[in-house]
Amino acid sequence: MYQNFVPSEYVKEVFDIKPETLIEKNIKGIITDLDNTLVEWDRPEATPQLIDWLKSMKDAGIQVVIVSNNKELRVKSFADPLGIPFIFQARKPMGHAFRKALRIMEAKRGQVVVIGDQMLTDIFGGNRNKMHTILVLPVAQSDGFFTRFNRRMERRIMKKLKEKGQLMWEEKNE
């Protein structure tokens, strides 16, 4: 049961994901969460470092689609200035938004990675859709109202996975 929550990879932050590594794996697209994955949940726009990272992906021919459970205004106001396609109110981990992102990129499941900070939405959704998943540490120590519930559930799942030796997790406070 818990196996669906185990990501294919773990990294501390999206900046640890390099276009060269993705190209070696024949990856042509990224489905990424927005809040606490790319930027803090309450940051309205991309940081200069994130803009550079997104440009490096584009320059390498890797498409990026933001798939967020947040509202249209939040996602649109973040993605539009960057010229990145997006899906809002995605209802992750349900599969519709993941499949829609594949259509936007004209890519197959094996050519796309899912990046996110939540096991219950991003990783579970990506795994259910048979995609390579990358779990990142949340960029902020605080969360929005609904995410706080997910974090409590994730701590329980992570505890079980650690007990079974299936999860090696580094805390952000190291």
**Residue 168 covered by a domain:** no
Residue 125 has phi, psi (to 5 degrees) of -65, -45
Q: What is the CATH number of the domain that holds 71?
A: 3.40.50.1000
Amino acid 173: pLDDT: 36
Number of domains making up the chain? 1
What span, in angstroms and rounded, lies between the C-alpha atoms of 92 and 153? Answer: 15
The contacts of residue 52 (CB under 8 Å, 6+ apart) are: none
What span, in angstroms and rounded, lies between the C-alpha atoms of 157 and 161? Answer: 6
**Residue 172 covered by a domain:** no
**Residue 127 covered by a domain:** yes
Are the beta carbons of 112 and 28 closer than 8 angstroms? yes
pLDDT one digit per residue (tens) for the chain, 174 residues:
577 888 999 999 999 999 999 999 999 999 999 999 999 988 999 999 999 999 999 999 999 999 999 999 999 999 999 999 999 999 999 999 999 999 999 999 999 999 999 888 999 999 999 999 999 988 876 555 566 666 667 777 677 766 777 665 554 333
- Residues spanned by the domain of 69: 2-163
Residue 151 Cα to chain centre, angstroms: 15
**Residue 171 covered by a domain:** no
**Residue 28 covered by a domain:** yes
Nearest to 82 by CA among 107, 50, 111: 50
Residue 56 has phi, psi (to 5 degrees) of -65, -35
Nearest to 49 by CA among 40, 60, 39: 39
